[in-house]
Structure 1
Amino acid sequence: MEALTFYGMEDLRYEQREKPVLQKEDEVIIEVKYAGICGSDLSRYKKIGPLTPGNIFGHECSGVVTETGRKVTNVQAGDRVAVCPQLPCGKCEACQSGYFAACPDLLVIGAKKPGCFASFTKMPAENVLILPDHVSFEEAALIEPSSVVLHGLFQTRMQPGKTVAVFGCGNIGLLACQWAKLFGADKVVAIDIDADKLQLAQELGADEIIQPDKSVSTYAQLMQLTNDAGVDLAMEAAGSVQTSEEVFAAPKKGGEVLFLGIPYSDIMLKRFYFERIVRQELTVRGAWNAVSAPFPGREFTTTLQFLREGKLKTKPMISHYLPLQEGPDIFHKITSGKEKAMKVLFEVGK
């Protein structure tokens, strides 16, 4: 089968690999239809390198079940499915209590186990969700990043009438803008340096946009849009050093900060931003992965529900449809700044 294998930093290869085979009675084999590039994939490719050199990369996908183990009852061959790629150990104290995000051995496929940038992938049956008839494979390939956003929002005090600022309008930020509105936010302010991303954020529900300007600070622009009040919830979705600092200035007194992005450099807080945490009595939260109990969690089932009802829009976020063989080239182009992209989907087997 065709596959994208990850050997080292900036060393992604298109190869032929053996098709996975069932080894456990609770496993399923999935023929991958669409697989998406995650922002974390780009960071690992450019900045970190693989956990297991030579492993099949990728963790966001949808497809069709082709084989099932003897004890599998929740899906059958021929079912159209989405995949929860998180793999908690299931044995530690955190897993036993249903707090899977705290599992010390939590991984996703594509890290130590083969991922989904391939013709076929193998998963535990409990990680597979059947798609409603009119939810497309393309939409389903974005269920996992949507669940990442929901995992964070479910931890906040978000409710109708609140105001929200989203720092960074990549895929996670765009989904954050949408979910904030679906949660009933009165005003969502999207912040990004890219005008195209801001335009898409508006199309997907953002009420106001801020494009940082050297002459006027993001903080000053946000205060102007909120009548000097700030917002109830500020979400950091860019994973940048700058926004990881600036996000602390956005909330009003008693407000919240939610970190969804991961910067790969040290964060040094200026006194102004640190004092906002103290003087505004902010609640600061981090959100890790996308799973909860009962596994895989309400993050995935809620995303499926809103896709089925047509309320969550993921197709407008897709900028590229590519065959797997173009994988090494598109990773290089995006991480080197030679090509702009939102969500890249690999059309596997086409």
Structure 2
Amino acid sequence: MKALNLYDIEDLRFEDTDKPELKSPDDVIIKVKATGICGSDTSRYKKLGPYKEGMTFGHEFSGIVEQIGSEVTSLNVGDTVTGCPAVVCHQCHYCEKGEYSRCENLYVIGSYEPGCFAEFVKLPASNVLKLPDNVDLDTAAMVEPSAVVAHGFYRTHMKPGATVAVMGCGSIGLLAIQWAKIFGAAKIIAIDIDSHKLEIATQLGADYTINSIEEALDQAISAIPEKIDVAVESAGSPFTIGQVLTLPTKGGEVLLLGIPYSDIEIKRQHFEKILRNELNVIGSWNGLSAPFPGEEWTATLHYMSTGEINVDPIISDRLELEKGPETFYNLVNKKKHYDKVIFHP
């Protein structure tokens, strides 16, 4: 089969590789129909390189069940599905408590096992979820990032009627705007340095937008009458991780969703906001809960089926998989603008 395999930093190749085979009675092989580029994929491509040289890359996808193992009863060949790419051990202390995002042996496909930038991918049956009839395959390729965002919101103590600020309006931030509405936000503030992303944020439900290059953030926030109850950091930037601490009201919450790929140094006046304002700072990792893979996944599929999670405005490009190497190069080196890229193998 054809796949995108990562050999080194900025060395991604479209080439033939082995098709996955059923080896366990609970294995499921899925024909990939749509698969998306995650921000963590671009960081590994640009900065970190592969976990294993030549590994098939990617972890966000949807597709059609091609083969099932002998003990699989929850799925049938031909089912349209999405897959949770996080593989957990189901044996460690955290798994025994149902805290699967904290599994001591967690890994995601595309790291130590082949991922979904390929014509076919394999997962355990417990990681595979059938799609509602009205959720299309491109939408379902974004169930995983939505589940990651949902996991963070479930960790907050957010109440209906809250004001939520979202800092960083990439795919995660734009999904966070929609989850904030689902959780009952009365007002949502979107903050970014890209006016195009802020336009999408407005389309998806943001009540206020702030371009923090064009106007001073503290002044723009002070002009908004509502006090911010929950501030979501979804950019993973060393700069915004400090800034986001200045946003919530006293006793408010900061939800950290963005993954930084460089060291963080927080200014004293930013750090003191945690202390003086008695902020609750919440780290969030992956998107798993019990029963595995969790309510984040079933809720995402529900809200995609109702239209309350809408990913169409987020997806900018639908491309053939063979365009992967040039797309990654153009994306990380800013040779071309993309929002969310979906490959069709």
Q: What TM-score comes out, normalization by structure 2 length?
A: 0.98
2:282 alignment partner, SS class: strand
Aligned to 2:114: 114
Aligned equivalents of 2:218, 2:83: Cα separation in 1: 39
Aligned to 2:18: 18
Aligned equivalents of 1:153, 1:266: Cα separation in 2: 25
Check if 1:154 corresponds to 2:154: yes
1:31 Cα deviation (Å)? 0.3
Aligned equivalents of 1:126, 1:135: Cα separation in 2: 20
2:205 alignment partner, SS class: coil
| CA deviation vs aligned residue, 1:232-272 (integer Å, no higher than 9, x gap) | 00000001011000000000000000000011122211121
Aligned to 1:277: 274
Aligned to 1:88: 88
Aligned equivalents of 1:260, 1:180: Cα separation in 2: 13
Aligned equivalents of 1:137, 1:177: Cα separation in 2: 22
Q: 1:311 aligns with which of 303, 308, 311?
A: 308
1:51 Cα deviation (Å)? 0.6
Aligned equivalents of 1:151, 1:298: Cα separation in 2: 8
Q: Which residue identity is paired with 1:218?
A: L
Matches within 5 A, 1:103-252: 103-213=103-213, 216-226=215-225, 229=227, 231-252=228-249
| CA deviation vs aligned residue, 1:160-185 (integer Å, no higher than 9, x gap) | 10001100000000000111012110
Aligned to 1:293: 290
Runs (5+) with no aligned partner, structure 2: none
Cα pair 2:180 2:188 within 8 Å, conserved: yes
| CA deviation vs aligned residue, 1:5-61 (integer Å, no higher than 9, x gap) | 011111100001121110000001000000000010001110111111111000000
1:154 alignment partner, SS class: helix
1:45 alignment partner, SS class: helix
Aligned to 2:338: 341
Aligned equivalents of 1:50, 1:6: Cα separation in 2: 6
Q: Which residue identity is paired with 2:307?
A: G
1:251 alignment partner, SS class: coil
Matches within 5 A, 1:26-105: 26-105=26-105
Q: Which residue identity is paired with 1:22?
A: L
Check if 1:325 corresponds to 2:322: yes
1:277 Cα deviation (Å)? 0.7
Q: Which residue identity is paired with 2:333?
A: S
1:252 alignment partner, SS class: coil
Aligned equivalents of 1:233, 1:301: Cα separation in 2: 24
RMSD: 0.9
Q: Which residue identity is paired with 1:221?
A: A
| CA deviation vs aligned residue, 1:272-308 (integer Å, no higher than 9, x gap) | 1111111100000010001111000000000000111
Q: Would the alpha carbon gap of residues 226 and 8 (structure 1) be closer, same or farther in structure 2, given more than 3 Å must change?
A: farther
Cα pair 1:257 1:282 within 8 Å, conserved: yes
Runs (5+) with no aligned partner, structure 1: none
2:190 alignment partner, SS class: strand
Cα pair 1:219 1:246 within 8 Å, conserved: no
Give aligned-pair identity as a percent: 51
1:95 alignment partner, SS class: helix
| CA deviation vs aligned residue, 1:218-243 (integer Å, no higher than 9, x gap) | 1221121136x4x1000000010110
After TM superposition, which residue ranges in structure 1, 4 or more long, deviate above 4 angstroms?
none
Cα pair 1:62 1:138 within 8 Å, conserved: yes
1:62 alignment partner, SS class: strand
Q: Which residue identity is paired with 1:245?
A: G
Check if 1:257 corresponds to 2:285: no
1:102 Cα deviation (Å)? 1.2
Q: What TM-score comes out, normalization by structure 1 length?
A: 0.97
Aligned equivalents of 2:225, 2:279: Cα separation in 1: 17
1:225 alignment partner, SS class: coil
2:47 alignment partner, SS class: helix
Cα pair 1:62 1:82 within 8 Å, conserved: yes
1:217 Cα deviation (Å)? 2.3
